[in-house]
Structure 1
Amino acid sequence: MREQALYIDGEWFTRPATADVRDPWDGSLAGTYAIGDADDATAAVTAARRALAEGLPPHRRAEILAAAADGVARRAEEFAGMLRAEAGKPITAARQEVQRAVTTLRLSAEEARRLPGEAVQMDAYPAGDGMLAFTVAEPLGVVAAITPFNFPLNLVAHKIGPALAAGCPVVLKPSERTPLTAGLLVEVLTEAGLPAGWLNLVTGDPGVIVPAWQHDERVAVISFTGSAAVGWQIKAGSPRKQHILELGSNTAMVIDSGADLGRAVAAAVASGYGFSGQACVSLQRLYVHESVVDEVLTRLAAAVQDLAVGDPGDEDTVVGPLISPEAKERVTAWVRGAVRDGARVVAGGGERSGVLEPTVVTDVPEGADLLCAEVFGPVVTVVPVKSVADGIAAANDSRFGLNAAIFTDDLANALAFSRRTEAGSVLVNVPPAFRADHMPYHGVKESGHGREGVKYAVESLVSPKLVILAA
């Protein structure tokens, strides 16, 4: 069991008030965390501002991030065990997340050595005769990083790594459901040589900590991953700051009539039910050409019934517990509500070992939460469509737009989908939940603002200062 303290200006601080972190699988105590307040949040910013003023050369940032990547790799099983305990993440998926975080930190180390800058051809016009000019990347300032429960290590690494690479100190508020893994990462970065003030960890009530950072003029950037409602509220409450928002979605995928159905169904299963569908790019809406919809439903139902469900400590488990009993009840209520309105459950819908089964639903009425809101659970809704054009229109009929995918053997349909689908990433014959940590990653509409992916996040966290020299 881990007892998580606050980390401010290079020191760990306990607090009289603490809260428990419970294992979503069996309710056992995974650890406790200190409850910080607005004064702690402000003290963290003060430390970060001092660090910013002192500076840290890019080569040192790179060395520290590379050493931290090695540190996470050495402690991989410890990190995976913590992910399993506090998030209920199946152990195989937890190990995959650890390896992704190692990659994210290594990519960040590389980007610290190649910050953006360019020569400006001043004498392209007469006014610039005799001048030499170039841009240098300057950090925007202190970054407030606010992270969700579902990827407690890699999403934290995606906030911290690019910020440090860019030269921006960080004040970090992880999810109150999964704060312990973040504390382990702070330990690793400290052991890697990160000086005091460059990374500060404040845990507690987001309703107390986040407003303190919103209203603190010394915070230059708020980087938030979480629900759309909260993300846009944060942006509205701090309009003069820079924002990087990675928000929710109700991811769509289209299966064309000539698609490789085995490959497409495998992609739907992996994207819809991995970690119980608790990812912003988890497949939720599956639009299938009417000529193959019956076969897809049969294959999909058989596949999900074969998925290992239950104890996240079991190496074979794919679908473990949702993050909380409240989340489980909400998803169950959405399925029941759709069924009352005429939907049909093709597979799942119940529980196995106390875990919500992977569920396939069809005939869901328009306007139902299963189609319009973000389920964040192991439920995929199958909808027949007459054509790929209809599938595109249906996919676009959403306030979200993060990832969208199509499986097709028709190049014209692939190109039409790529051009007309409203999403930050469009994937052809690739599962919709796919993400590589070096690629640009962002949403449109209510799904986000700004871009992540290590290189692209770094570019968002620096300002190009123009330097002009004349003899």
Structure 2
Amino acid sequence: MRTQGLYIGGAWQHPDTTFTVTDPWDGTVVGRVASAEAHQAAAAVDAAVAADCPAAHERARMLRRTADLVEERAELFAQTIRAEAGKPISAARGEVGRAVDTLRLSAEEARRLAGEAIPMDAVAAGEGLLAFTVPRPVGPVAAITPFNFPLNLVAHKVGPAVAAGCPVLLKPSERTPLTAGLLVECFDEAGLPAGMLNLVTGDPGTVVGTWTDDPRVSVLTFTGSASVGWSLKQRSPAKRHVLELGSNTAMVVADDADLDAAVQAAVTAAFTYSGQACISLQRVYVTPGAAEPFLERLAKAAESLVSGDPKDESTVVGPLISAEATQRVRSWVEAALSSGASLRAGGDVTDGVLRPTVLADVPSDASVMCEEVFGPVVSVNTVPDLDAAVREVNASRFGLNTAVFTASTATALKYVRQAEAGAVLVNLAPSFRTDHMPYGGVKDSGEGREGVPYAVRALLDPKLVILGG
């Protein structure tokens, strides 16, 4: 069991008030973590404002060293992710590898910060003048991260901020704070100066509320639910916001699709880590010629997945983050069935784990269709043609990632043009993501883009310099 304090101004603090972190699989206590009060959250802002930001080459060196330390301690990180998040160990190891990449990509970006020359003589008033911009860090960044990727999503907030020269106030999910603490230890060992990274855990209302209301905090970057994200923006309109707010991801399968590839993509996107990802697949729209063959293969593939203990190397679907989450998702499945949907696979809970579930003919107003499930449930509906599929996809209030499977270039390009989403993938799982690509959504899926280069740009302002004669 790990005991973890607050990290403020380069030093660990251990207040008397703590909370416990438990393993979603068996309920054992895996950590006791400090719970901050408002004055400690404010002290973290003080430390961030006072931080001495190192030069770009030094920030790059520290990010590279941090990546090396994470890589050296990969199994410790993976086992910690498995224990506090309930993530199957194979998926946890994959997350660690991605986080190492994210940190190394951030190190590269730290050395690429550059302004641009401004052609002042483009207008008569500018003749004889020389002008250029210098990138300037915007200031302290409050980073609020969710439980589902407790290492890589933290790396996506902290790495670009350090690269840009912005001090960070980190508030990880109270369900998964231990992995974040391990990462902070690596940054500390890599030599990041005091105040450049501060870890404050505890009640979100206390910690995040303090930062949201503090005018010294320049940026709020948040990954989580739409309701919370938009409320944070409403509460702090003067700040810059990067909001990644989830989705109910859709995929379209045309008659001419490679069904084996489409089924494999659906299985990967819907059931990896029990569907607990912003871009996990929830909705599939299939044209008539492919509908029944696709459903049969998908149901068979879902039934073959190993569910259960996350420590088992073969487990694909482990427990949801809490018993309450399992009950919620199961109730949504039962509501869909009561409304006329049919069950093609799963639907039951075994040893506390909701097995991979495939539904068909689901009403469009069912929660499993129009809300974010965050569980191992996928719904498959037949549509007459691509136009109908596009209408169904775009009817959602979300728009993060979407995918289409087809052998027709014309069909693919039509879908690319018409689908309302931050990313459209062709013949790829809609859950596909690399850590340097622009990532973010439209509508209720948020605003701004993550992906290391794009996140860095969001944290810089161009300072204009004009030289007279």
Q: Taking structure 2 as the reference length, what is the TM-score of the superposition? A: 0.99
Native 8 Å contact 1:116 1:459 kept in 2: no
2:425 aligned counterpart, secondary structure? strand
Native 8 Å contact 2:255 2:406 kept in 1: yes
Paired position in structure 1 for 2:430: 432
Paired position in structure 1 for 2:163: 165
Residue correspondences, number = 469
AA at the equivalent of 1:33: V
- List alignment gaps of at least 5 residues for structure 2: none
Of 417, 427, 432 in structure 2, the residue corresponding to residue 419 of structure 1 is: 417
Q: Distance in 2 between matches of 1:381 and 1:116?
A: 47
Paired position in structure 2 for 1:290: 288
AA at the equivalent of 1:439: M
How big is the shift at 1:124? Answer: 2.5
Equivalence map 1:218-237=2 (5 Å): 218-237=216-235
Of 390, 399, 414 in structure 2, the residue corresponding to residue 401 of structure 1 is: 399
Paired position in structure 2 for 1:40: 40
Paired position in structure 1 for 2:7: 7
How big is the shift at 1:396? Answer: 0.5
Show CA shifts across 1:133-160 (max 9, x none): 1111100000000000000000000000
Equivalence map 1:310-329=2 (5 Å): 310-329=308-327
Q: Does 1:242 align with 2:247?
A: no
Cα RMSD for the two superposed structures: 0.7
Name the % identity. Answer: 61
Paired position in structure 1 for 2:302: 304
Deviates more, 1:116-125 or 1:371-380: 116-125
Q: Distance in 1 between matches of 2:122 and 2:372?
A: 52
Paired position in structure 1 for 2:17: 17
2:175 aligned counterpart, secondary structure? coil
AA at the equivalent of 1:17: T
AA at the equivalent of 2:285: Y
1:62 aligned counterpart, secondary structure? helix
Q: Distance in 2 between matches of 1:146 and 1:6?
A: 15
- List alignment gaps of at least 5 residues for structure 1: none
Q: Distance in 2 between matches of 1:179 and 1:106?
A: 22
How big is the shift at 1:309? Answer: 0.5
AA at the equivalent of 2:291: V
Of 261, 265, 289 in structure 2, the residue corresponding to residue 263 of structure 1 is: 261
How big is the shift at 1:470? Answer: 2.0
2:289 aligned counterpart, secondary structure? coil
How big is the shift at 1:123? Answer: 2.0
How big is the shift at 1:417? Answer: 0.5
How big is the shift at 1:415? Answer: 0.5
Q: Taking structure 1 as the reference length, what is the TM-score of the superposition? A: 0.99
Q: Distance in 1 between matches of 2:37 and 2:106?
A: 31
Native 8 Å contact 2:53 2:196 kept in 1: no
How big is the shift at 1:228? Answer: 0.5
Of 208, 211, 220 in structure 2, the residue corresponding to residue 213 of structure 1 is: 211
Q: Distance in 1 between matches of 2:254 and 2:290?
A: 8
2:218 aligned counterpart, secondary structure? strand
How big is the shift at 1:412? Answer: 0.9
Show CA shifts across 1:67-97 (max 9, x none): 1010100000000000000000000100000
Native 8 Å contact 1:76 1:95 kept in 2: yes
How big is the shift at 1:388? Answer: 1.2
How big is the shift at 1:17? Answer: 1.0
Of 364, 374, 377 in structure 2, the residue corresponding to residue 376 of structure 1 is: 374
Native 8 Å contact 1:309 1:353 kept in 2: no
Native 8 Å contact 1:4 1:31 kept in 2: yes
Paired position in structure 2 for 1:75: 73
Native 8 Å contact 1:403 1:423 kept in 2: yes
Q: Does 1:49 align with 2:27?
A: no
How big is the shift at 1:56? Answer: 1.6
